[in-house]
Amino acid sequence: MAAFSRLVRFISTNGKTYYGDAILPSGSTDARFATHAFRIDGDVLGEHAVTAEKLEIKKLLSPLAWSDIPTVRLLGLNYSKHAAEIGLPKPTFPVLFFKPVTAIGGPTDVIPVPKFAQIDNEMDYECELVIVIGKKAHNVSEADALDYVLGYTVGNDVSQRAWQIKKGGGQWSLGKMCDGWAPMGPAIVSSRVIADPQALRISTKVNGQLAQSETTADQIFGVAKTIAFLSQGCTLLPGDLIWTGTPSGVGMGRKPQYWLRDGDLVEIELENVGTIVNRVRYETDAKAKL
């Protein structure tokens, strides 16, 4: 389906933005260490070709532009140990919510915390395997579901727990919606490279300290089952993102609880995909009385 192995979107030294296939240093599987990429011609979600033109990477961006992402779907409570740590039963069906595309950020972007989200100071991290849909999927079977995957990336489902749980009227969106609260990258790794998405190590470090460490084998609804379920009566489109939930170790589930503070550095890694590194910044230029 994809001509690329590791799709990156980047600003090159000429100031222009490109899609490219990352050229990795020997022995590395992490596109954040790539200094160059082969330029891609065409539609990365459709007909495209990897050219022989090698461009220097000045800055990595989110691997898909907002305009190329129709929908951002996310699953909650999709790891057995995570459900246990927060005292909730395993769901019978996938727990689904959405984020706006403006939440998508890049692999090194700052995580901005607006004034209203600082009031209760319950900012949390969630490392997640992200599925990128490659072609229209409608009522697909679990057996065929992986054929619809363009590739995989890793992201941080940044969450403000007070607004997610206490102030949202039973809906999670207010605690999940803000700009930059879904940084992802550094690349979309082709499904040709990752044959088994249920055998990947995923982890989070906060200020260098390991906070989450699990494998995707602990998912309650694996990638194939998730795609098959979400495509029931609902067409998934090329570029759709499906965030597949977070494992145990979130700040809310720790004893004592840990909330992200201004200046904290969050590193999220997915095996064979790479690492995103984002610093938390509390905004000071807007007032909120809520």
Say what the pLDDT of residue 169 is. 84
Mean pLDDT across the chain: 96
Q: Tell me which of 45, 61, 77 is where a domain ends.
A: 61
Evaluate if residue 1 carries a pLDDT over 70. Answer: no
The stretch 267-276 carries a mean pLDDT of: 98
Residue 114 resides in a domain: yes
Supply the pTM of this predicted model.
Answer: 0.96
Residue 109 vs residue 195, higher pLDDT? 109
Residue 290 resides in a domain: no
Evaluate if residue 288 carries a pLDDT over 80. Answer: no
Evaluate if residue 200 carries a pLDDT over 70. Answer: yes
Please state the domain count of the chain.
2
Q: How confident is the model at residue 286 (pLDDT cuts 50, 70, 90)?
A: low
Residues 56 and 176 in one domain: no
- Domain span including residue 32: 6-61
103-134 b/e with 16+ CB inside 10 Å = b? bbbbbbbebbbeebbbebebbbbbbbbbbbbb
Residue 140 maps to which CATH number?
3.90.850.10
Residues 91 and 231 in one domain: yes
Cα–Cα distance for residue pair 227/210, rounded to 1 Å: 30
Residues 151 and 212 in one domain: yes
Residues 135 and 244 in one domain: yes
User: pLDDT (tens digit, 9 = 90+) per residue, 93-147?
Assistant: 999 999 999 999 999 999 999 999 998 899 999 999 999 999 999 999 999 999 9
Say what the pLDDT of residue 168 is. 82
Return the closest-CA partner of residue 6 out of 154, 216, 136, 183: 154
